Structure 1
Amino acid sequence: MLRILDRAEEVLIAVLIATATVLIFASVTHRFALGFVADFVRYFRVHDMPEASAMAKSAYLSLRNINLVWAQELTIILFVWMAKFGAAYGVRTGIHVGIDVLINRLDAAKRKFFILFGLSAGALFTGIIAVLGGNFVHHMYYASSISPDLEVPMWIVYLAIPLGSSLMCFRFLQVAVSFARTGELPHHDHGHVDGVDTEDEGIDELGDAYLHSPLTPRDLVEKEKDK
């Protein structure tokens, strides 16, 4: 079940990123194409080329009839959803930045307490946001408010708050339970590049430097890993 949830989370984030990227590309291309064709219309008129000017004007009118005003609004909505679910993904994979210089210097028992305290605080905070967000969406549903360009009900847009926060709360609890049982935290090696052999020159050194950095969260089994 967790594998299905993990995969669905990754697919959703990838789809949101891809859709937003395509929309931004199409919108910017359309905007520059309009200006480019308008310059051609002006050039042909100045140089007394009526046939070419008529063709360019026809192309300009065709492009202008393509309405992409809604693209900016949809892109913003997609980025909001992507940020909420991406934050949950970051908790699961250990991507979020944490300054743990003092905690890393503590003994194992105290370190475990503070790490669990931090994870529990994160779960509590995101849980509260999920509840408040759900209540907000409930009121928005009966308000019948819609977005200005897409005319989508705003409760659907704001649904990202309770859903994303609930998933993030679950991820905090998942990491906390796993840490309490095994003493391990999820780590993301920023020195690793997908598709590159980890035995290549420079990769091991960078990963080793990352693991031994005082700014990297060190779990309870880190010393055993270093041996």
Structure 2
Amino acid sequence: MLLRILDRFEEILISVLMAVAVVLIFVAVVHRFSIGFAADLVGWARANDMPGLQSFARSAFKAINSIKLTWAQEACIYLFVWMAKFGAAYGVRIGIHVGVDILAERLQGTAQKVVTTIAMSGGILFTFIVAWIGADFVAHVYRGGQTSPDLEIKMWIVYLAVPLGSALMCFRFIQALWIYLRTGEVAHHDLGAVDGIEEEAETAAEGKA
């Protein structure tokens, strides 16, 4: 039950972070081009002696320019940092990380099990170390009181993605190793498959039958 909640939370968090970042980038781009368009319209109206349009364009320029989105780029960077860290843990869970498994695939029986176990244990050790060092770094930043230049939020909150994401990734490696030792299966994602397509095809086939 708890694992299902964690899985769902992980998926929702990544989706929300990605959606917010995309929307924010879209709004920032539209805002930037709107300012340029309004400025060009002011010049064009002045050159063609259209005072009414010039006044409207100047008012639009001032209104758009009054909306400050200088913080948008910084916010998107932080959103993508969090998304990348938790996305890495999600990748371990469903088996989409790039791995050199040519040796393990050529081995069989006990030898294959030993090599695979060593590889997964290496992932556990590495992510544990990153989580440990990241937690220590966050503690130092917290004591230093550093804030971001544009958003002016505490930087320890931003850097918290490193220990949290690495800890979750470490847990996913432990989970994957436990499943492998019990069942002999390693999570592997078919890059040629599209989620939902196979289920929809089966449902359609059942409906026709």
**TM-score after normalising by structure 1:** 0.86
Residue 199 of structure 1 and its aligned partner are, at CA, apart by: 9.4
Matched to 1:124, the amino acid is L
Corresponding letter in the other structure for 1:116: T
1:62 is the counterpart of 2:58: no
Runs of 4+ aligned structure 1 residues displaced above 6 Å come to none
CA contact 1:192–1:198 (8 Å) conserved in 2: no
Worse-matched range after superposition: 99-108 or 130-139: 99-108
Cα distance in 2 for residues equivalent to 1:14 and 1:74: 16
| DSSP-derived class of the 1:48 partner | coil
Q: How big is each residue's C-alpha offset from its partner over 1:69-125, in whole Å with a ceiling of 9 and x where there is no partner?
A: 000000000000001000000000000011212221112211111111111110111
Displacement of 1:191 after TM fit? Answer: 1.6
Alignment of 1:180-191 (within 5 A): 180-191=181-192
Deviation at 1:9, TM superposition (A): 0.4
- In the alignment, the residues of structure 2 paired with residue 8 and residue 163 of structure 1 have an alpha-carbon distance, to the nearest angstrom, of 14
Aligned residue number for residue 206 of structure 2: none
2:112 equivalent in structure 1:
111
Determine the structure 2 residue equivalent to 1:126.
127
Query: Runs of 5+ in structure 1 lacking a partner?
Result: 201-227
Name the Cα RMSD after superposition.
1.2
Rounded to whole Å, the distance in 2 between the matches of 1:195 and 1:172 is: 26
Which deviates the most, 152-161 or 183-192?
183-192
Q: Measure the CA separation in 2 of the matches of 1:50 and 1:179.
A: 75
Question: Pairwise mapping of residues 16-55 of structure 1 onto structure 2 (< 5 A)?
Answer: 16-55=17-56
CA deviation string 1:30-83 (max 9, x = no partner)? 111111111111000001111110100000010000010000000000000001
| Alignment length (residue pairs) | 200
Of 83-92 and 98-107, more deviation after overlay is shown by: 98-107
Aligned twin of 1:81: 82
Instruction: Give the superposition deviation at 1:198.
Output: 6.6
Query: Is the Cα contact below 8 Å between 1:131 and 1:162 reproduced in 2?
Result: yes
Query: Percent identity between the aligned chains?
Result: 56
TM-score (ref. length: structure 2): 0.93
Equivalent position amino acid for 2:158 in 1: V
Unaligned 5+ segments in structure 2 are: 202-209
AA of the residue aligned to 1:91:
V
Q: Look up the equivalent residue of 1:130 and give its one-letter code.
A: A
Partner of 2:204 in structure 1? none
Mapped to 2, the partners of 1:32 and 1:108 lie a distance apart of 61
Alignment partner, residue 144 of structure 1? 145
Q: What is the letter of the counterpart of residue 162 of structure 1? A: P
Provide Cα deviations, 1:125-183, integer angstroms capped at 9, x if missing partner: 10011111111111111101000000000000000011000000000000001100100
Question: Which whole-Å CA distance do the structure 2 matches of 1:156 and 1:199 have between them?
Answer: 41
